[in-house]
Amino acid sequence: MKKINLIPALITLLAGAITSVSLYLLGYDYITMLLILLAVLIVFYVIGVMVMRYFRGIYLRNKEIEDAKRLEELMAKKKKKNKMVVTEDGGEESEENADEESENENQVENSSEENK
């Protein structure tokens, strides 16, 4: 993310270097060269800020997608962990099977009480 913040400076410096060299080679006087260079630096700084915002938006969207995926994975793991129940003999079974077995035990207890 810190590298994205350097984009306007890099674009501005590159444009300024190219402009300075080309204006010097074309034989402009220094006052004209400085005015043109100032205009170029301002324009390319604004362009650099727009490019930086574009890339920052992409970075933030990708980060949100990664966070959402990570959250889904954690929720799936937590859900899977909650569904597993330790049985009396030390094994694991799903919560649904454990509920069915407890219902069966309750029915057996109820029927044995009725038989008495």
> What is the reported pLDDT for 91?
54
Q: Across-strand partners of 93?
A: 85
Q: What is the C-alpha to C-alpha distance for residues 116 and 112, in angstroms, rounded to an integer?
A: 7
**Nearest-10 Cα torsion for 88, 90, 92, 96:** 0
> What is the reported pLDDT for 110?
47
The owner of tokens 């410096």 is 13
Q: Look at residues 116, 112, 1 and name the one whose alpha carbon lies nearest to residue 55.
A: 1
Residue pLDDT, tens place only, 45-83: 999 999 999 999 999 999 899 988 998 888 888 887 777
Residue pLDDT, tens place only, 84-95: 655 555 555 554
